[in-house]
Amino acid sequence: MKSSPALPLMADRTAARRDLGLTDESDGGWWKLPGGSLPAFWLRRLHQLGAHSGWVVPFHRKALRQPVGGCRLVLVRVDDYPRWDRPLGEFLEFDRLLARYGVPYALGVTPFLGIEPRKGRLDAAEIDTLHRLTERGVTLAQHGFTHRPHRWGRRHTVELPAYSSGELADWIGRADTFYGQSHLPPPAIMIPPFDGITPESLQAISDRYLIVTGGPASLSTLGPVAPGVRLNRSVYLPSYYPHMYATDMYGRLGKRLWTQATGAVIVFTLHWAWEVRDGYHRLESLLAALAGLVVPWDQALRRFAPARGDA
């Protein structure tokens, strides 16, 4: 990937009118986060310090900002299935807790997990679990391919940006073959490992994944893109601070986590292994508050499906 496509050219204004209610187009930076001209480090700090002081920093400029308390899609994303360092039984315990509270979610699956001691494939019990989850309504998402860490720049860890566009196409083909041979639905959602996604890698996967997620690290690797903006063919739905650390931040912010959010879609991220290590001490109170509020990812996939006639 030799050239970096300009984010303003990737941002789809027509889709923003249709999907997000963009009406005021006088702001040329409509697709950016407020404060998007700040260096990524300071923008992350702004989000973090705001949350720790009791303020949910707005993620949308005026052109895309939804009224406080308005109707939103609230979604939950769960990363890291399977884990290289935790047994399947611990994940099943976590899943039972979400099922008890009726919280639907998208599960980030790494089909060729290659972090030692893993050997680059899912075992029969892990695949059987995916069958049972999908039958219950859990949405499968693609969480990279191997989850092996690669350095990007001086400070960041990524997987997807380490591959060329041709290599990404090859990995996508291998993953789709895995889902087909396992009789599982191929994911329409990509959760980049380490939230590492660049304009180049997003462009390379955009024809395949309708939704691509991100997080605080994406501010450095991708740029200051507001949640819900369509970049090329993919809708970008990151979990910035505080939504990336939902269980911890719920203890500080309570329902302001979603009532003060500025976008049409909110994505809370859970790392199931973190919650296991925490003994679910904070998770259960969050799930009780979210019960009946979170919607299945199918609703987001339907909402953002390309309109008939889109190129």
Out of 5-9, 92-96, 241-245, least confident range: 5-9
Query: What would the mean pLDDT of 14-42 be, rounded to a whole number?
Result: 91
Could you give the CA distance from residue 11 to residue 7 in angstroms, rounded to a whole number?
6
Domain ranges for the chain:
73-303
pTM of the model: 0.95
Q: 67 vs 224, which has greater pLDDT?
A: 224
Out of 4-8, 97-101, 138-142, 216-220, least confident range: 4-8
Report helix angle 283-290 to 246-253, nearest 10: 70
> What is the band of 66 on the pLDDT scale with cuts at 50, 70, 90?
confident
Helix, strand or coil, per DSSP, at residue 139: strand
> What is the band of 25 on the pLDDT scale with cuts at 50, 70, 90?
confident
Superfamily of domain 73-303: Glycoside hydrolase/deacetylase (3.20.20.370)
Residues 141, 190 contacting (CB under 8 angstroms): yes
Per-residue pLDDT tens digits for 35-47? 999 999 999 999 9
For residue 215, the model assigns a pLDDT of 97
For residue 32, the model assigns a pLDDT of 95
> What is the band of 277 on the pLDDT scale with cuts at 50, 70, 90?
very high
pLDDT at 56 over 80: yes
Could you give the CA distance from residue 138 to residue 134 in angstroms, rounded to a whole number?
5
Out of 5-19, 101-115, 122-136, 163-177, least confident range: 5-19
What proportions of the chain, in percent to the nearest 5, are helix, strand and coil? 40, 15, 45
For residue 310, the model assigns a pLDDT of 60
> What is the band of 1 on the pLDDT scale with cuts at 50, 70, 90?
very low
